[in-house]
Amino acid sequence: RLRLHDGKLVKDRRYHLRTYPNCFVAKELTDWLIDHKEAPDRETGIRLMQKLMDHYIIHHVCDEHSDYKDAKLLYRFRKDDGTFPLSKDVKVFMRGQSLYEKLVSMEESILKVREENSVKYQRTFLGCEMIDWLLQEGEVENRKEAVELGRALLEHGIIQHVSNRHHFSDSDLLYQFWINFRRRQRLTELLNESSSHALSESPDSPFCLRKLNPDPANTSFLSVQTNKEIKIVSAVRRSSITSLAGNSNPYFSTTPTLVFPPVAECNPKSVLKRPVTNEELLSPGAPYIKKTLTVVGDAVGWGFVVRGGRPCHIQAVDPGGPAAAAGMKVCQFVFSVNGMYVLHLDYQTISSLIMTGPRTLVMEVMEAME
């Protein structure tokens, strides 16, 4: 997806007096797959793109075609229009991916070669050491939250005890990342899967999000073969901002990946604990403060999610994106966009304002006082 953005195959296109943001022409993409040796012929290229359609990676811009046609039709990555399924399981996977990239890029990383029972393991970390690091980096607020995060990562097959015998704990037990997030797969590997069931269940599936099922009777963990690497699709970056029709939500979303569970919700539950009205926000003495954020978008987006309307709120923020760097947080309410008052507008209108505006976005948000 990012390669197509960089190569300008994904761009805004006009058809029948309407502009479709961040889309590509199917025939051009098939040509690109062959030219870049991602597919040996057009038939294989079509099958590859159909596989992505079947798993909610791409779709026709108007959803008028359920299959991928090698023609002058417009398609779009769901990450670029907010319809990419983002479930709790996927969020755990992306959190693990983010932590892994952060750890391996550090000069003094806690990932080191260590030994247990006379066996050396690469890039390992102590449970207590990981918790200290998570607290130091502001990834969690307390040790209890860090343990819960570690246990979630282990249960999803992202980390494991080196001998696969213990759950995650605040101790000197030795753990390591089980998934090689930097392994790049070729698109043609997707065609090795024979069905959607096999795709979601096979341990070698690049779409497989593994959950381990601990046996309460002992401390061993089944369903992971220690001599087998879990394969994943290389990660890419956050989505571009777009507006959507209907009841879908506009996603300026978190770091995308091609990994998601077989059944996923396309419209995540609101992060707001209760509805808030404009009158409540603007009433004298209301427990809200206004902040001005300047968000400089990158090549493919700003890195946040807007949802709701009258007022709209921030649904999610990419921890490594431009919005997070500017101080944006979930549950903030959008007061103005580039100087325009927007509390009375719905998310479609606000997303259109952002999308058609400058790359440097100036937003006023209202945040609840702690």
Query: Mind listing the domains of the chain with CATH numbers?
Result: 11-77 (1.10.10.10), 88-177 (1.10.10.10), 278-368 (2.30.42.10)
37: left (phi over 0), alpha (psi -120 to 50) or beta: left
Q: How far is CA 23 from CA 8, 169, 240, in A?
A: 10, 45, 11
Predicted pLDDT of residue 141? 92
What pLDDT was estimated at residue 300?
63
- Largest Cα span, the chain: 69
Give residue 193's pLDDT. Answer: 56
pTM of the model: 0.44
Please state, in angstroms and rounded to a whole number, the distance separating the CA atoms of residues 364 and 306.
14
Q: Please report the pLDDT score of residue 299 as a whole number.
A: 65
The average pLDDT across 293-306 equals: 82
Share of the chain above pLDDT 70, in %: 78
Joined together, the tokens standing for residue 166 give: 């213990």
Would you say 187 and 38 are in contact if contact means Cβ atoms under 8 Å apart?
A: yes
Q: pLDDT tens across 339-363, in order?
A: 889 998 888 888 888 877 788 889 9
Residue 169: the pLDDT is 94
Q: Are 39 and 33 in contact (CB under 8 A)?
A: yes
Q: Using N-to-C axis directions, what is the helix angle for 42-54 and 26-35, rounded to 10°?
A: 120
pLDDT at 246: 35
Show the tokens assigned to 301.
């987006």
Letter for the amino acid at 18? R
Residue 43 has pLDDT above 50, yes or no: yes
The answer, yes or no, to whether residue 49 has pLDDT greater than 90, is: yes
Distance (Å, rounded) from C-alpha 74 to C-alpha 70? Answer: 10
Which pLDDT score, from 0 to 100, does residue 184 have? 64
pLDDT of residue 171: 94
CA separation for the pair 23, 11 (Å, rounded): 5
Between 270 and 22, the more confident residue is 22
pLDDT of 216 = 37
At 194-231, the pLDDT tens digits run: 443 333 333 333 333 333 443 333 332 222 222 333 22
d(CA 103, CA 105): 5
Give the per-residue pLDDT at 267.
Answer: 44
Q: What is the pLDDT of residue 3?
A: 87
Per residue in 55-84, pLDDT (tens digit) is 888 999 998 888 999 999 999 998 888 888
* pLDDT given at position 226: 29
Examine the pLDDT at 45 and tell me if it is beyond 90.
yes
- pLDDT of res. 269: 75
Q: How far is CA 92 from the centre of its chain?
A: 10
Would you say 307 and 270 are in contact if contact means Cβ atoms under 8 Å apart?
yes
pLDDT, averaged across the chain? 77
